[in-house]
Amino acid sequence: MTTPVLAPMEAKLVAELPEGAGWQFEPKWDGFRALVFRDGDDIEILSKSGKSLARYFPEIVALVAGIGQTRFVLDGELILPVDDILSFDALQARLHPAQSRITKLSRETPAQLMLFDCLTDGDQDLVGQPLTERRATLEALHARHGGPSLLLSPCGDLASARNWLAQSGGALDGVVAKRLDGPYRPGERAMLKVKQHRTADCVIGGIRRAKTGEGVASLLLGLYDDAGRLNHVGFTSGIAIAERAALAARLEPLIGGPGFTGKAPSGPSRWNNGQENEWEPLRSELVVEVLYDQVTGARFRHGTRLLRWRPDKAPAQCTMEQLVYELRPAELATITDERHLQTFR
């Protein structure tokens, strides 16, 4: 199949949701962005970077093949619920070299396709059309062919978007705003997105030194589980060079402590070409509050930002219960338009 050169429209991160008329708001889904192309029997699924995902999600290819319409281009998100939670870990597990493994996972934990835009409908090119027209076409397509695995992303006004953010308990990754009169702009940041701000109080269970050996480059963060074990959940870096030596002096008396008594940091890292990334354990006495984005596999998916020290917080109070995990679709259904989310059930 010769796939048209088409990059997905992207979003610019902003601090506040836009006000005024002319905006449509949608939940920000935590999955793999995907452009889905069908031309007769030819089907392709492309990631945001332009790489094919079709091999890794055969159940989505079969889903698209089963749609009673043979020509379209759709924009959406591949999501994967595991135990009623959208699991980014499970999506990443699909990117496996062994086809037998992919086939097994596609049967055990099938993915879903969440739709939020329609770029081509039959021979009609909708890229230059306003969102209102594209959305109407998408809703009509979903009404004809939607089901438990082919879902339609809900949309609403500003009041709805604020309600989603306020009542989701932080589980919603964020909200995307689109101009109702705007065309689809491939490759441009023509949408706006607001992300949830999540914080956690964590114990400093260890440190990694700067490459020069002088000062602290990053703090290794831990949280206690129900068994009282301190598990490594991530790190915070971005420590100013001028502050690294002073921080090392502050932490020096704690070096040599038990550190992490549950899950500990691994040595080699994909960020340092597989080389050993040594760390030093500390006594579990200091607590910091950090800002994080998402949780995957019981740890922060990305590095965190240090907000403040918490001398008022006892380390034992820093538990795994603080973490906000991936979105539970059933919970979002209670704060969004039920008719758009009925296919989750």
> pLDDT tens digits for 28-65?
888 899 999 999 999 999 998 889 999 999 999 999 99
- The answer to whether 262 touches 292, Cβ cutoff 8 Å, is no
- Over 90: is that where the pLDDT of 261 sits? yes
Residue % of the chain over a pLDDT of 70: 87
Q: What's the confidence (pLDDT) of residue 83?
A: 78
Helix axis angle for 58-65 and 99-108, nearest 10°, is 60
- Domains belonging to the chain, first-starting first, are 10-15+22-195 (3.30.470.30), 198-322 (2.40.50.140)
Q: What's the confidence (pLDDT) of residue 344?
A: 33
Among the listed residues 28, 51, 263, 313, the single catalytic one is 28
Q: What's the confidence (pLDDT) of residue 273?
A: 45
Q: Which residue has the higher pLDDT, 102 or 274?
A: 102
> pLDDT tens digits for 175-198?
999 999 999 999 999 999 998 778
Q: What's the confidence (pLDDT) of residue 31?
A: 87
> pLDDT tens digits for 128-168?
999 999 999 999 999 999 999 999 999 999 999 988 887 76
Q: What's the confidence (pLDDT) of residue 4?
A: 57
Q: Of 311, 223, 237, which is closest to residue 279 (Cα–Cα)?
A: 237
Distances (CA, A) of 283 to 87, 206, 253, 261: 33, 8, 9, 11
Q: Where are the beta strands (DSSP E) in the chain?
A: 10-13, 23-27, 32-39, 42-46, 71-79, 81-82, 85-86, 112-121, 124-125, 150-152, 174-179, 189-195, 198-209, 216-224, 230-236, 280-281, 287-292, 295-296, 299-300, 305-309
28 is catalytic: yes
- The answer to whether 72 touches 63, Cβ cutoff 8 Å, is no
